[in-house]
Chains A and B, each alone.
Chain A
């Protein structure tokens, strides 16, 4: 018998007040699987990520992590079940120092004894972050803030890592490095849900692609099997594998 999917959204409706963003959306991520979620702006990708990490409670449908129904539970229960969400945009505590930003999750995950080791690993991944460990996180550049977010997420080695537009604001060289790290994390057994405009990076990493449009899943399949031009046409995206956006 197959293991339960690490993440399962079933018939999810969600939105913001009177604005509906998702309409009966279904999505599964198997343990250790890397899934790329693609779609145009406004397709609902970020809302999927928010529902999957418990930030947003769906108005209908269920969200399960490792087969446990967590619908309506606060985000901390998702985090404790091993879901780590690196939200889009600035997502660090600006008024805490860089190191304090890392201490928050590391203390919980590794205990007092493991913190030093975890910090060392984070700074090894992104030496730039280590150089600025005593600076207020709000004074970092946009790219450095992304690195800090990623350092936090990657060191935690979660069951599932949800990365929303994580290359946004990063130099191409750094983006490439980040994807190398993501590949290592995936190989170590972490499931990935990657929301990305840089479709070529995401597709190279993922084993499966899910295309989102108008708040629903409109197409999908194994990255080496589906016809990408059909996929992009379905999603209303330019048919060049993201070339237009680069």
Chain B
């Protein structure tokens, strides 16, 4: 009895001591999240861009720091100055000058798309510029000793921080205090907060908005560089993916501060880091809960915040009161196309389709037919992006995840002797069910939050769920056979291409019917204004949810098709978050509302890198086969490397998204409109007597 009483306080003291020890351990990680989050908030607050490419900017500077410090062995200070101050500032200036200056009054979603394009293109550019080699053991920015070397020299302490952690904590505190003072106390800070809401209104006050914006971009970009260089040593290797994975936690921290509060983001990040360390400390290490919960904590916290925080769900995007100065968007091509040309266009489409099949049947060899068939399978997934994002108006960054779920479910079902085609439908149903569960909270969120929530889900799936064997089916990808229906075999590529094309055609017609039908009209109304749509009796949440679930199902079906064609449900090869970003960027660039865009982007995803591969292989072959050529020619030819192809393709895909700001309807629609106008002008010139078709656009001056 007495012994027990004596033990009790000791245990309690131990628990409290543990609590603080874990908290101290969590603080540096919390500061990592906080730094990233503060950078995102700074960007969003001053430019309206939720700059997901912040992670890519951080990676770029970290890579520069790695190369000059480790490979060229520069001293610390010049290396840090170059990678943080010079590269950071130059990148910020360039981003503003070349891109964001021209979309200052664009919608937050248009800006998000631009940043997605950069997120895709920038890491590939870095790899092309600095070499693709593995960058192991990134060098630290800070070379001070551990705390126990100078603080607790005698006896040591449980509260140990190493040099990198001290640097992170100090940098975070410095950045948070500095930015808070900037926004609270200075005229520049006030102007930075104002410019994002309405650059025009700010110009009316005599402020040079371009100068304010470029300063804020330089500032946030230098912060990204600092974050990159500070965080790189956390990982054994310098890869862009690690930075992306940190985004979930950073986004959760941003949501704590409603995306605009610096101190909120800081506290959110800190709390998340500490919570994670406490869970790691107190939960038994071998329990299922601990192993599952710890890595998924940022995701769980983010979703909890999105669900329970009233301020998030009621967040209204602040609109520019002077938006009326902008010219109205161009009308879609169908509205300016004369009737005779519609017939001509449709006839031309039939010719293209027939010619495409003929080429695949008799002209292209097996290699290219295989790529095209893979592209048509993927086009079904692309179609789900058209449905969800273009028609439904929800920017979903997790269509790749739905495709993966469809593929994995198809694979699992075929293991149980379900016929492949039936299994694909089953996979679609599973993906749709997951879409319903995820969509229920997500589609109620304002646009930017919905995009972030889907991004978080994709990263969560990639970071946590895919590692569970009941999801992925183990370490080796599950095999998926190709179908045989009623004695017709689709085992070869050419028959499979026909099958995939048939699936795409059915799905495409369904998407067009939905887009042009009542649901499509409802969605147009909802996209324009929730409030206005509600006032005429449309339920915005239900309409959006229906389309989100259908989109998830369609992605699942496409995923099953992709898996069946490639013979296996291979997540890391076919469906990763990064590949999904490339898909989204491709579809949005081509035209997020058009079925043609889905098929074109699906095929180009495979064919374009293959073409580039041919292009870059040709000089190498030339060098091999023509050793007698002049040395300067051999030098030039030897400069090209075949392994550039995939990287260059991704860079070009990513940069393509930058056209979105100018042509939100997509380059296909933009080109179509332009060619219709040209043709109409040409025909009118040929037939001067004919009455000019009035398109009702140019309002004539009164007589």
Contact = CB atoms under 8 A, between A and B. Distances in A.
A87 interface: yes
Nearest to A213: B702
Interface residues of B, number: 33
B589 interface: no
A80 B203 contact: no
Contact of B191 (A79, A85, A94, A104): A104
B321 interface: yes
Interface in B142-191: 187, 190-191
Contact of B203 (A75, A90, A93, A94): A75
Nearest to B698: A18
Given A16-B325, A23-B701, A138-B318, A95 B197 contact: yes
A93 B697 contact: no
A80 B201 CA distance: 14
Nearest to B701: A23
A226 B701 CA distance: 27
Contacts of A23: 701-702
Given A85-B204, A108-B205, A214-B702, A93 B194 contact: yes
B131 to A, nearest CB: 43
A17 B198 contact: no
Contact of A96 (B194, B326, B328, B697): B194
Interface string A49-72: 010011110000000000000000
Interface stretch (B108-116, B206-214, B576-584): B206-214
A76 B209 contact: yes
B699 A19 contact: yes
Q: Which interface residue of A80, A95, A105 has the most chain B CB atoms within 10 A?
A: A95
Contact of B699 (A20, A53, A90): A20
A215 B328 contact: no
B698 A16 contact: no
Contacts of A76: 203-209
A19 B696 CA distance: 10
A24 to B, nearest CB: 8
Given A16-B328, A18-B698, A20-B698, A74 B203 contact: yes
Contact of A79 (B198, B206, B321, B699): B206
A85 B330 CA distance: 29
Contacts of B190: 96, 100, 103-104, 107
Contacts of B202: 93, 104
A134 B371 CA distance: 62
A87 B207 contact: no
Contacts of A93: 193-194, 197-198, 201-202
Interface of B: 187, 190-191, 193-194, 197-198, 200-210, 260, 318, 321-322, 324-328, 330, 697-699, 701-702
Contacts of B702: 23, 214-216
Contacts of A105: 205-206
Contacts of B191: 104
Contacts of A75: 200, 203-204
A241 interface: no
Contacts of B198: 93
Contacts of A54: 203
Contacts of A18: 327-328, 697-698
Nearest to B208: A76
A79 B697 contact: no
B325 A56 contact: yes
A23 B700 CA distance: 10
23 contacts: A16-B324, A16-B327, A16-B328, A17-B328, A18-B328, A20-B698, A20-B699, A53-B204, A55-B203, A74-B203, A76-B204, A79-B205, A87-B201, A87-B321, A91-B201, A93-B198, A95-B193, A100-B193, A104-B191, A105-B205, A108-B206, A108-B207, A215-B702
B208 to A, nearest CB: 5
Top-10 shortest CB links A-B:
A17-B327, A79-B206, A75-B203, A214-B702, A105-B205, A16-B327, A23-B701, A76-B203, A18-B697, A90-B321
Contact of B322 (A19, A20, A87): A87
Q: Which interface residue of B204, B318, B322, B697 has the most chain A CB atoms within 10 A?
A: B204
Interface in A1-46: 15-20, 23
Contacts of A96: 190, 193-194, 197
A215 B697 CA distance: 17
Given A23-B701, A105-B205, A216-B702, 13 more contacts: A18-B327, A53-B204, A56-B325, A74-B209, A74-B210, A75-B203, A79-B204, A85-B204, A87-B204, A90-B321, A91-B201, A91-B321, A96-B190
Contacts of B209: 74, 76
A143 interface: no
Contacts of B322: 55, 87, 91
A111 to B, nearest CB: 10
Contacts of A109: 206
B673 to A, nearest CB: 12
B538 to A, nearest CB: 26
Nearest to B207: A76
Contacts of A17: 327-328, 330
B609 to A, nearest CB: 38
Nearest to B193: A96
Contacts of A80: 206
A184 to B, nearest CB: 23
A211 B198 CA distance: 31
B567 to A, nearest CB: 51
Contacts of A221: none
Q: Which interface residue of A76, A138, A214 has the most chain B CB atoms within 10 A?
A: A76
A179 B542 CA distance: 49
A169 interface: no
Q: Which interface residue of A17, A18, A89 has the most chain B CB atoms within 10 A?
A: A18
A87 B327 CA distance: 17
Q: Which interface residue of A23, A104, A107, A215 has the most chain B CB atoms within 10 A?
A: A104
B328 A104 contact: no
B197 A94 contact: yes
Contact of A104 (B207, B325, B698): B207
Nearest to B196: A95
B97 to A, nearest CB: 16
